[in-house]
Amino acid sequence: MENNNIEELFKKYIEETITEQELSDLYYFFQDQQNQEKQDALLTTYLSEESAVPSPLAARATVVKDFAWQGIERRMGMTTSTQKYKRMYWWKGAAAAAGLLLILSSGFYIYRQMAGQHPATSQFANLDIPPGTNRATLTISNGAVYQLNGEKEEIVVDKGSIRYKDGDTLSAKDVVRHVTLSTPRGGQYRVTLSDGTKVWLNAASSLSYPTTFTEKDRSVTLHGEAYFEVAANASQPFVVHTPNQDIKVLGTEFNINCYQDENRIVTTLVTGSVKLDNKGGAASLQLHPGEQAVLNNENFDVAAVDVSLYTAWKDGEFRFRATPLVEVLHQIERWYDLDVDYKGVPADIKIHASIRRDKKLSTVLHALEKIGDIKFEVNERHIRVMH
């Protein structure tokens, strides 16, 4: 196989775009002892570009290699003892860094297999806290509060009423002008606004909005985190108000994280264009697709990012790449309704992983222990990190 072809396959694996046949080709390339020089060159090149590969790799090598090959073999249907022998032989002859790279850098597939199928430790098995669900309340301007049906998943505000997407009505709009959709910790919900804009609301968040927008303005207020898919309307800008920042758009997709306990506002633009205004006085700026602005105090920091890392939650995944453990635990704390003691959380541990949000807490904590070389102490819904 030509070098440029194998490099392309490896790139596809890292980006999760590889096909079954291509995965098979990649497997046999790494299995072949004659390719060792090419393997080493490929891995050395990639590792030299990956600035955030975790440092304590050696201590986790055995576990990672086993999980890596289990993941590949499950996907390729390899379960025989002959394949097990080949796997052991390969690790003696080829670059052991391959498995570490595939699971610990930006290739998420093998880790997803590990998180989904490895049994929980005995400590966490008794805990077994389920993941968050579709849960929210809707408070309307006449004082009524509705506990939304989690099985419905989404509400719609249109010209005639506030209703579930399947048509069941919550309230007639002739007596309602403004509503607030709120999710608890361990909850999420979706809403379609009167102009057709779609909003995904993450856990411990709230969105306040009018049941009908005015001709001049479309404005909503957000606390927490939400993903917006704004309906285009050049004559009627869409504005998202947050505690320290306003975002103005015409038609675009973006994610905003403005949780109060994180002391910053993170805006990640997927498509279109947005204008950010800092209420603290800093100059406004305009974002382009693939860019992220972080507002700390009064200043914006702008950088190009992989937007999927910041929008995966709406599609049912935690996705981390060199993410500090503190930030990982913030997400898990809100989704599983936990209390985390952050005093003992190491600042130097970064997580590379993709974990489905429908997994029980026991599975998630066990996976983080293996990846982060840490231990968790759990007491009901209270968690402490043991380094």
Instruction: CATH 3.55.50.30 in the chain: give the residue spans.
Output: 316-386
Top pLDDT among 200 and 61 is at 200
State what percent of residues in the chain have pLDDT above 90: 37
Q: Which of 63, 66, 57, 50 has the alpha carbon at shortest distance from 97?
A: 57
pLDDT at 6: 80
Mean pLDDT of the chain: 77
* pLDDT at position 81 over 50: no
d(CA 64, CA 58): 10
pLDDT at 15: 61
pLDDT at 63: 42
Largest CA distance in the chain: 76
Per residue in 167-219, pLDDT (tens digit) is 888 877 666 788 999 999 999 999 999 999 999 999 999 999 998 897 778 99
DSSP states along 272-319? S-EEEEETTSPPPEEE-TTEEEEEETTEEEEEE--THHHHGGGGTEEE
CATH class of 316-386: alpha beta
Top pLDDT among 225 and 156 is at 225
Per residue in 135-150, pLDDT (tens digit) is 999 998 888 899 998 8
3-class SS of residue 335: helix
103 — pLDDT class (breaks 50, 70, 90): very low
CB-CB contact of 275 with 245 (8 Å): no
pLDDT at 27: 67
* pLDDT at position 371 over 50: yes
76 — pLDDT class (breaks 50, 70, 90): very low
- The CA-to-CA distance between both ends of the chain, in Å, stands at 44
Query: 212: burial class by Cβ within 10 Å (0-12, 13-18, 19+)?
Result: middle
Q: What residues pair up with 277 in beta bridges, in sequence order? A: 246
d(CA 91, CA 146): 58
50 — pLDDT class (breaks 50, 70, 90): very low
DSSP 160: S
pLDDT at 78: 44
Top pLDDT among 211 and 335 is at 335
Residue 49 belongs to what H/E stretch?
Answer: helix 36-49
Q: How far is CA 78 from CA 72, 205, 231, 383, in A?
A: 8, 44, 47, 38
* pLDDT at position 74 over 50: no
Q: Which tokens is 304 given?
A: 């190009």
| Beta carbons within 10 angstroms of residue 333's beta carbon | 20
